[in-house]
Amino acid sequence: MTGSERRRIAVVMLCHFIAALAALGMPPFFALILLQSFDSTQTQLVGWFYILPTLCTALAAPWWGRFADRYGTRRSLLRAQLGLALGFLLASLAPSPLLFALALMVQGLLGGTFAASSAHLASLVQGAGLAQSLNWMQGSARAALVVAPVLFGWLIGFVAPLELYGYLALLPLLAALLLLLALPAGAAASPVRLGDKTAAAVQEQVSGALLFMLQFGFSFACVIGFPYFIADMQLRFAALDAVELAWLFSLPHLVYLLLAPGLGRGLRRWSAVRCLQVAFAVLALSYWGQYLADSLVVLIALRLLMGLAMTACFVALHRLMSASSGQRAGGLFGRLDAAAKWAGVAAGLCAGALSGLLGLSSPLLAAALVLLTLSLLLQGGFRKHHFIHAERN
């Protein structure tokens, strides 16, 4: 990887982090927006506000992927940043919950910065460099997930939450301006260097069907444990305050930020598929343990184990994505992003249904079962069937 490539990659990472701060920081305050800005007590709308942008991104991502392949990944990345800015601006002007929901739909339909950034990275670097860049991208999202709610929670003490959306529209605009200045059109259009792929990377190519299934299953298992985790822990450990619960929730993401670079290098000696199989099994074990845990010390240890296994899953998945990317990286990452978003929608709906029927901790058990199933499916004949001649699919 050359110095010029590193600078371009750093710009893409920074711009994604700027956009992710705004996109990931406001959803925790949807209930506050309903109450303060719309004087509404219809708290059931919060769930729909969470789902709408994700659902719209899932619908639009494959189309935007084809757009990137046809018109260029740089242009698609600029489009995603401007789409986010438009969605945030419309949200700040919304006079009712209905129009706020429409603004969230615009954000989902026209956004998609993660897939657009990933596709642009694939136009700059290949092989191990791309896998490492995707690890950094995921780290950018995790950092935003940790920092944004705390930062915006402080800002809401000075600015109304709906008004804050108007200021946040400046963040993706700033990112778009930075992309225009730091990534000239000619530089961003550099061709994908297929020759940079090593023999090991070629051997790690898997079929699109398997890759999308792994992405969907892993995303589903991660997301289904999110919505009711804090409420579940409040019931189990009543002595914990809101800040302590938030730290408990954030632990796996902090582990990713700390371990992803070193683990990415350390796991290169392992087959990506074998690494993923073991990581799925360990992650399933951590979820099962959290489902049963009645000791805070044990729970903290399991959250740390979850972070380690989750990091290994991302590292291995990114290697498979890197090995499968090629001249149509936009389409690949668009479909992968759609798979993750559909998984998020399904996980949110399932978490709500399961928590109502079987209790707040039941989504953790569901995540363990999904991950265990994925680990078993990667073993034996299923893996071999989808592994052979994957490059033809």
CATH number at 82 reads 1.20.1250.20
More confident residue, 70 or 283: 283
Ramachandran assignment for 237, one of left (phi > 0), alpha (psi -120 to 50 degrees), beta (any other): beta
Range of weakest confidence among 24-28, 110-114, 293-297: 24-28
383 burial via Cβ count (<10 Å: 0-12, 13-18, 19+): middle
Same domain, 288 and 236: yes
| 285-344 tens-digit pLDDT | 999 999 999 999 999 999 999 999 999 999 999 888 888 766 566 777 888 888 988 998
Of the three residues 158, 174, 194, the one that is the final residue of a domain is: 194
Same domain, 169 and 184: yes
Same domain, 322 and 361: yes
pLDDT value, residue 113: 86
Average confidence (pLDDT) over 361-375 = 95
pLDDT value, residue 157: 82
Same domain, 298 and 363: yes
Ramachandran assignment for 388, one of left (phi > 0), alpha (psi -120 to 50 degrees), beta (any other): beta
Same domain, 172 and 303: no
Q: Which domain holds residue 231?
A: 198-392
Average confidence (pLDDT) over 216-242 = 88
More confident residue, 31 or 188: 31
Domain count, the chain: 2
Of the three residues 147, 179, 194, the one that is the final residue of a domain is: 194
Same domain, 243 and 367: yes
Same domain, 127 and 238: no
Same domain, 64 and 129: yes
Same domain, 102 and 249: no
pLDDT value, residue 303: 96
Average predicted confidence (pLDDT) for the chain: 84
Of the three residues 194, 218, 233, the one that is the final residue of a domain is: 194
pLDDT of 80 above 70: yes
Same domain, 159 and 203: no
pLDDT of 43 above 90: no
Same domain, 234 and 328: yes
Residue type at position 345 = V
Residues of the chain with pLDDT > 90, as a percent, come to 33
| 141-178 tens-digit pLDDT | 888 877 887 788 788 888 888 999 999 999 999 999 99
Same domain, 133 and 276: no
